[in-house]
């Protein structure tokens, strides 16, 4: 009888603790894309005198995460009862599209009973599932609320002196992401250029506005010859989580030149083997172009001719566009439109933002028609 009474008392005590302690995972983002920060609040409501707690956020290959604020303990009245509230802020970054599940999460509590003795209990938050959309670009996923790129040069690259070194420092800062999600350092190697690359610096800083990722790249650059040349440009696509659109952070091209134009002090020739040959070729090209323009024909680069020819017929993506619009498959429609634009060599039209908004907005507008959008898309391309 004594043992049975003790068991009944333990069951009742456990039930009382369960009723007096609740843990949940809260978030307000229903439509994230891969790599986009989702802020989670792990909230505990305890009608207990908690003296110790221990909670470990679960790791997963499906996401990255970081705690972005200190744990907050405070008193709050819930349904007329003054409870002890526990809140932990987590920034979560999905690594893949599809259903991403977080949890369950256990919080192990040590609390003080009414008789002054200490006891332990485990409170569990049920799992939550995020419906993650694919990253809307053919590029490494990078999402941020704000991104800035600064490209600093130590001197004017167009008027370098002999043996003078140009220092280039590129800094990228992004709000709402992690340092390892920022792009990889570009390769600036060229046959005509000597490049010394400094170790990159990456870090994630916690700020009141959220995590800020930063990367700094630095190069010392010196051309091998005295002839003009251009260091190629680069671009980093990223998803603006406020506008719900893809933006591009450009790395500008750098035209190199030297004071005292024409003094070739290097061993290698890059653009021309001799300046007289360069002047002769330039003059010949201008003469031919001028003659063609006077005839009313003009000369177009091969790429421009190819783009104009491709605008005369529907192209290899017409069937995929029609099928996606007919079935209402918006991700497939967006992918087919992106492939078609790259094939035609045209910049994305403004109405592409309507499709992106329907796909990635947290609250997409009603009344969107995939077939109607495709018809407008085709009209825009014909007019362009």
Q: Which three-class secondary structure string do you get for 46-80?
A: ECCEEEEEEECCCCECCEEEEECCCCEEEEEEECC
Distance CA 32, CA 136 (A): 11
Distance of CA 46 to the CA centre of its chain: 38
Structural domain boundaries in the chain? 21-132, 143-264, 314-381
Distance CA 36, CA 40 (A): 13
Amino acid 47: pLDDT = 87
Amino acid 362: pLDDT = 66
**296 pLDDT above the threshold of 50:** no
Class of domain 21-132: mainly beta
Q: Which of 104-118, 278-292, 335-349 has the highest mean pLDDT?
A: 104-118
Question: What CATH number does domain 143-264 carry, 2.60.40, 2.40.50, 3.30.1370, 3.30.2390?
Answer: 2.60.40
Tokens 């409170």, residue located: 123
Do 143-264 and 21-132 fall under one CATH topology? yes
pLDDT digits (tens, 9 = 90+) for 85-98: 999 999 999 999 99
Amino acid 263: pLDDT = 45
pLDDT digits (tens, 9 = 90+) for 23-80: 999 988 778 999 999 999 999 998 888 888 888 899 999 999 999 999 999 988 888 8
Amino acid 276: pLDDT = 42
Burial class (CB in 10 A: 0-12, 13-18, 19+), 170: buried
Amino acid 311: pLDDT = 53
Burial class (CB in 10 A: 0-12, 13-18, 19+), 132: buried
Q: Which of 63-67, 113-117, 316-320 has the highest mean pLDDT?
A: 63-67
Amino acid 282: pLDDT = 40
pLDDT digits (tens, 9 = 90+) for 252-266: 888 887 664 444 444
pTM of the model: 0.64
pLDDT digits (tens, 9 = 90+) for 203-225: 999 999 999 999 999 999 988 77
Distance CA 336, CA 344 (A): 12
CA distances from 93 to 176, 239, 254 (A): 9, 13, 35
Amino acid 15: pLDDT = 40
Which band of pLDDT confidence, cut at 50, 70 and 90, is reported for residue 270? very low
């Amino acid at each position: 009888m004594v043992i049975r009474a003790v068991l009944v008392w333990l069951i009742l005590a456990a039930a009382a603790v369960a009723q007096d302690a609740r843990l949940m995972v809260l978030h307000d983002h229903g439509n994230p894309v891969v790599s986009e920060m989702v802020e989670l609040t792990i909230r505990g409501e305890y009608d207990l005198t908690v003296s110790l707690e221990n909670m470990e956020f679960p790791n997963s290959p499906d996401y990255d995460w970081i705690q972005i604020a200190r744990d907050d303990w405070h008193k709050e009245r819930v349904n007329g009862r003054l409870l002890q509230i526990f809140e932990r802020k987590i920034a979560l970054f999905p690594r893949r599209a599809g259903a991403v599940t977080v949890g369950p999460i256990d919080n192990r509590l040590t609390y003080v009973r009414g008789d002054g003795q200490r006891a332990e209990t485990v409170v569990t938050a049920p799992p939550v599932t995020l419906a993650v959309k694919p990253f809307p670009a053919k590029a490494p996923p990078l999402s941020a609320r704000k991104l800035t790129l600064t490209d600093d040069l130590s001197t004017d690259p167009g008027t370098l002196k002999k043996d003078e070194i140009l220092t280039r420092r590129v800094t990228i800062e992004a709000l709402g992401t992690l340092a390892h999600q920022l792009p990889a350092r570009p390769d600036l190697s060229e046959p005509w250029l000597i490049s010394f690359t400094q170790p990159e610096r990456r870090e994630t800083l916690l700020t009141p506005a959220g995590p800020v990722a930063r990367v700094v790249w630095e190069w010392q650059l010196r051309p091998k010859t005295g002839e003009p040349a251009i260091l190629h440009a680069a671009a980093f696509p990223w998803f603006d989580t406020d506008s719900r659109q893809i933006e591009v952070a450009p790395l500008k091209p750098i035209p190199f030149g030297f004071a005292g134009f024409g003094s070739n002090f290097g061993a290698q020739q890059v653009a021309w083997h001799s300046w007289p040959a360069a002047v002769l070729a330039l003059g010949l090209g201008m003469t031919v172009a001028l003659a063609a323009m006077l005839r009313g024909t003009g000369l177009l680069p091969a790429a421009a001719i190819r783009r104009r020819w491709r605008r005369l017929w529907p192209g290899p993506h017409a069937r995929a566009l029609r099928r996606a619009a007919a079935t209402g498959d918006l991700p497939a429609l967006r992918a087919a439109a992106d492939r078609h634009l790259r094939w035609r060599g045209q910049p994305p039209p403004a109405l592409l933002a309507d499709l992106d908004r329907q796909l990635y907005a947290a609250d997409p507008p009603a009344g969107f028609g995939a077939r109607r959008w495709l018809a407008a898309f085709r009209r825009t391309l014909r007019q362009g």
